Every structure is written in structure tokens, then in C-alpha cells.
Amino acid sequence: MKELVASFTAQLRQAVEIGEKATFTAPSNPIRNVLITGLGGSGIGGSIITQIIDQEIKVPVMVNKDYFIPAFVGQDTLVIVSSYSGNTEETLAALEMAMARKAKIVCVSSGGKVVEIAKANGFDHIIIPGGMPPRACLAYSFTQLFYVLHGFQLINDSFKADFETSIHLLDHEEEHVCSEAYYLAEKLHKKIPVIYSQANFEAVCVRFRQQINENSKMLCWHHALPEMNHNELVGWTIPNDKLAVVFFRNETDYDRTKARMELTKSIVTKYTPNIFEVYSKGATQLQRSLYLIHFGDWVSWYLSEIRNIDATEVKVIDFLKGELSKI
């Protein structure tokens, strides 16, 4: 897993090369909405991109993480099917429903049944490198989402320069990122992490939480401001030094949200001494998101090392899938 985390920018470079070669067929109907369907490491990219492009894209975009798809999906829907293995049962069920609705379908996968179905039905598809844990290949699947949306003229091509800048930024900052990530991992050891951010970075928090779950084999939770100020904040009533709060922050956070962060921090500090702030780097939301994603990935790996556990294995998920296959 360490090698895969360290290869993040190399994956981004290769992902861009793959995206540049992708071609798409024109839809029969104008695209009026988009559904990105996928789960786990293949699905989180959809959540992240929707928060990055929501001030640019002019049609609604929804992320689906279930067997079923929403009623609005039809012939004017672009359905992006993301399954790293190509065999995710929920995603295959959603793909079948999208086919029945005659949606415009594009598949992103390393192979499996998804690619088989795409080839058999003439669906546009992008094949990414396989054989790795899906969560360690976010760079491949996430990047393709931009190329698909651009291919259907739903977003402009500014993301290309952003990816290039992000690669240079992360390469330049790698030593610093690793150092700070190790420091935070030490502080989170034997704690329950609580991750907070501004609302438009919530998906990045979810990614961090998922990485702690799978790589570090730990429970944690997250929330986003300002919504957190309307409910969870009231739950902070009992001192608990087993909780460790991590604020993902950006210099560009909205002023009112910055004020809420400071006030929230002052309240939470009364109940746990373990408060940490991580500031992103980068000029755009995509650049800042990639920075925080890479930082969080390193934290999750360092935690696995500190805890002396295998970051790669997911035996309980394998067990669950095995039991489901018997039903």
C-alpha cells in the first residue's frame, strides 16, 4: 500500500494520458442530467467531482451508491458507471436499470463484467489499469470523470491545467506532506478521529474517513460546516480525550464559515484537548482537494504502520461478499 500511496502523482499522469485518448459518441438526445453510479473507492470520485464542478456545470449531477437508480434517469441522462473491478454487484444492477431506461452510458473500469457489457452493447468505455485495491486507484477513476463530462461538453477543459499544476505541487510538497501526515497519524493513534470541513469539501472528508476505515482499520466519523452547527455541535457535552478532531481547512473558505470554524473549535476544545488543523495548498478547489486527499492517504497508511496492521487486506469485506454470493 505504501508504494501505491507514493505513486499518486504517477497515477495522475497516467490517468491524464488515458483521458486524453478517450473518445465518445454523440448522444441521441441532449443531456439534461447526469448520474454517476459507483461504490467505495470507485464511487467517492463522483462525490468529490460534483462538489468541484457545481459552480460550472449547468445540468444536475447526482451520485448513486445503490442497486437502484432514481426515477429521473432516462434517454436524456448521461450515466457514468464507475467500477474498478467491473464486478461490483450494486453497480452492475444500476447499469442494467440504466440500460432498460435507454440512458446514454459511459463505463470506467479495469475490466470485468462492466467492460464486457460495454463492449457487447457498444457503450463508450474507458479502461484503466487493474490489479490493485480500488481505493488505491482513485487517481485513475476520478480523473476520467472530468474527461467524460468534458467529452459531452458539460464542463470546460480548465481541469487539464489543474491536474498538471496539482502533479507539480504534490511532487514538490511530498516530503512536507509525509512529515505532517506522520505527525498527525501519531496524534490519532488510539483515538477516534472526527473530521470536519467546509461543506464543499465534505466529500474529501469522506475519502479521508474511508481511508482510515480501510487502511488503518479504525472507526471515525465526519461532518461539514455549517450543517454541523445545527445538530452535531449540541452533542459535544461530555469530556472525552479519546476523540481527536481534525479540521480540513482552506484559505479560501467562506468568511462566515471560517468564523463558524473558529467558534466550533473553541467549543469542542472544552471536551477534548486533541484538536488539529490541516490547511490545503493549491489555487483551485481541484488542486486543494487533491492535496488533502493525498495527505489523508498518507495519514491512513502511517496509522496502519503505527498500529502494526496490514493496510491492504480487507478480509471482512471479502467475507461479506462471499456470504452474499451464497444467497
Per-residue pLDDT of 100-120, as tens digits, reads 999 999 999 999 999 999 999
Residue 315 falls inside a structural domain: no
pLDDT of residue 2: 82
Radius of gyration of the chain from Cα atoms?
Answer: 20
User: For the chain, how many structural domains are there in total?
Assistant: 2
For residue 275, give the 3-state DSSP assignment. strand
Q: Are residues 180 and 92 in the same domain?
A: no
Q: For residue 214, indicate whether it is catalytic.
A: yes
Same domain, 6 and 150: yes
Per-residue model confidence as pLDDT tens digits over 55-102: 999 999 999 999 999 999 999 999 999 999 999 999 999 999 999 999
- Is 1:55 a contact under the CB 8 Å cutoff? no
- Is 54 contained in some domain? yes
Q: Are residues 175 and 294 in the same domain?
A: yes
**Do 141 and 213 sit in the same domain of this protein?**
no
Q: Is 64 part of any domain? A: yes
Task: Give the pairing type, strands 124-127 and 192-198.
Answer: unpaired
**Is residue 186 located within the same domain as residue 293?**
yes
Q: Per-residue pLDDT for 304 more than 90?
A: yes
What is the chain's mean pLDDT, rounded? 95
Establish whether 187 is a catalytic residue: no
Choosing from 125, 191, 214, 281, the catalytic residue is 214
Are 237 and 264 in the same domain? yes
How far apart CA 202 and CA 196 sit, in angstroms, is: 8
Active-site residue identified among 3, 20, 175, 230 = 230
Annotated catalytic residue: which of 172, 176, 190, 321? 321
- Compute the distance between CA of residue 189 and CA of residue 138 in angstroms, rounded to an integer: 25
pLDDT digits over 205-255, tens only?
Answer: 999 999 999 999 999 999 999 999 999 999 999 999 999 999 999 999 999
Range of the domain at 96: 2-156
* 95's grid cell: 447499469
Please report whether residue 45 resides in a domain. Answer: yes
**Residue 321 annotated in active site:** yes
Residue 185: inside a domain: yes
Query: What is the three-class DSSP state of 80?
Result: strand
Distances (CA, A) of 12 to 57, 138, 158, 294: 23, 9, 16, 11
Domain termination site, one of 156, 180, 214: 156
